[in-house]
Amino acid sequence: MFPSGLDSLIGERIMSMGDGQLQIPFAVPMEPTVTIDSGPLIGTTTLLPSSTVTVNKFLGIPFAISPPERFSPPVPVQEWEAPKKAQAFTSACMQQFQSEFIRMFYQGTGYPGDSEDCLYLNVYAPTQGAEGKSVLFWIYGGNLQVGTAMQDLYDGSSFAANQDVVVVSANYRTNLFGFPNSPDIPLSQQNVGFFDQRLALDWVQRNIAAFGGDPDKVIIVGESSGAGSVDRLVHLPPKPLPFRGAIAQSGQASVSYGGANGNVTAWKVLAEAFGCSAPDKQLACLREVDSLAIQKLLDDPDGPRFHPVNDNITQLATPVDRSLHQSVPYMIGSNGQEGRVDVVEDADRTDMPTILRGFARNVSGLEEAYSIPSAGITTAADAAAQIFTESMFQCPAAVVANESEAAGWPTWRYYYNASFPNLAIQDALASVGQPDFDLRAFHSAEIWLVFGTYAMTNATDAEIRLSKAMQTAWANFAKDPHITGPGWPKYGTNNESVGQERIARLGLGPEYNVTMIGENQIDFRCSLFKEMYKTEEAPPF
């Protein structure tokens, strides 16, 4: 009588209709409960229009003592006895919005407000099917300055309902609060934001079975700096290994075109700004400063920036030798016009020499290679965006895919190149006076389709089809990262294979489907940056 999987969630009550001959059962949603190692939880449920599978949602589960001690690694959460409600998002960790466009972008995707009380995670689990499901552990991006798991953009309900997987997303600290760069903190304890991620992964190993997931079937997935975090975990994984595969969307941490290894100067600026300059007392003093006062300083466009350090525990110096440091099968990809987001606030710029100097880093031949006009490049802003796209994302993805395959790991690569108008970005564009700017396949555009969180009211058939294809590919990889992967051919051999069609192109063309293309179709300018990648010593984000 009810859709499959709802039996345990429905209390059948009988309603008498007059003569007592008609009995109509109706659904009374019941709050799902689980018991994890720290105590009992009460969640909530959702049923999507596109599925008959109800999803249990446990939102805002504490995985560490929160708020944590400022600038210190996280500590596992303490046990509780009374059932704890996990039915709503908690706060984001403290953000550093140095751009109005970025601020409006996050507010437009369900940004919940921020606090130091933020070390919580979410679990999305289908109610039907066998136990021991594959698990996707999501790590959000944001240049290690902003970001949160507590927003609708990363709602895992569609994944869980349509792909029979469990999805986990966890907050971690960023900017100063995640990477303090204090000389008073030992190097081994500097990257507290990365330790947040590791503790959340440890929580998954200890507790995911209670939600129907298999701790031996976890893959890590991330976008932008979340993909960089994924790559760091692949290089220097916790032991025992808490995942069996990795997907990096538009980011990595093994080659760099311009990273930063910490920033002690930023810490000094912060200490001076709040009267905490006394030797040996800066750390204690800054732990007492009001967090909103600190955030106001961080939000200044000219304010200090804080970065992870090369500690050989959570981050290696670049370039990373993947033959020594890769630990699991790998899938990596990039978007066709990643850099459009980065030029949106300067979309009218016309000074090509200035643009080239900004990207050059001793790279010659850029002006000729990205000449105006050429394919897809009609303005200086187009050229700047494409240089950024290829040097920062696309060409590093090629390096990573080739090195992963050469190291003997099952490897897949994709190239996302679709554009849809119903993504939650219009307010951000309007905030910088560019409401009609064409972002094309911009940085992060694929996230809505991967999670299925695009606006259904304005969705096209092509968008729905592509989203389903991508979601299926990601789930397929989670279920079998060694053999079938996402469902398209592996990256192939590394010898004399440049012309082989071994990259999955997602979305270009009238059918918005998956087609295979060769590296020579998109990577023909990547040789410009090879030497540059050998000289930088820290990941880009």
For the question of residue 291 being annotated catalytic, the response is no
Alpha-carbon distance of 42 to 359, in angstroms, equals: 51
Q: Can you tell me the distance from the alpha carbon of 154 to that of 139, in angstroms, rounded to the nearest whole number? A: 10
- Could you give the 3-state DSSP secondary structure of residue 343? helix
Residues in the chain: 541
Residue 403, helix vs strand vs coil: helix
Cα 353 from chain centre: 33
CA distance 317 to 395: 19
Nearest Cα to 332, choosing from 439, 409, 421? 409
b/e string for 135-173 if b means 16 or more Cβ within 10 A?
bbbbbbbbbbbbbbbbbebbbbbbbbbbbbbbbbbbbbb
- Please check whether residue 265 is in contact with residue 193, taking contact to mean a CB–CB distance below 8 angstroms: no
Question: What is the C-alpha to C-alpha distance for residues 239 and 64, in angstroms, rounded to an integer?
Answer: 19
Distance between CA atoms of residues 105 and 120, nearest Å: 22
Contact status, residue 230 vs residue 140, Cβ threshold 8 Å: no
- Would you call 339 helix, strand, or coil by DSSP? coil
Q: In three state form, how does the secondary structure of 469-485 look?
A: HHHHHHHHHHHCCCCCC
Active-site residue, from 182, 224, 225, 419: 224
Asked if 121 and 201 count as a contact pair (C-beta separation under 8 A), the reply is: no
Chain position carrying tokens 């210190």:
72
Nearest C-alpha neighbor of 500 from the set 441, 413, 416, 418:
413
The full DSSP string for 200-259 is: HHHHHHHHGGGGTEEEEEEEEEEETHHHHHHHHHHHS--SS---SEEEEES--SSS-SS-
Backbone angles phi, psi at 433, to 5 degrees: 70, 25
Tell me the two tokens of residue 70. Answer: 């400022």
Reference 210, options 103, 30, 61; nearest CA is 61
Q: Is 306 left (phi over 0), alpha (psi -120 to 50) or beta?
A: beta
Residues noted as catalytic: 224
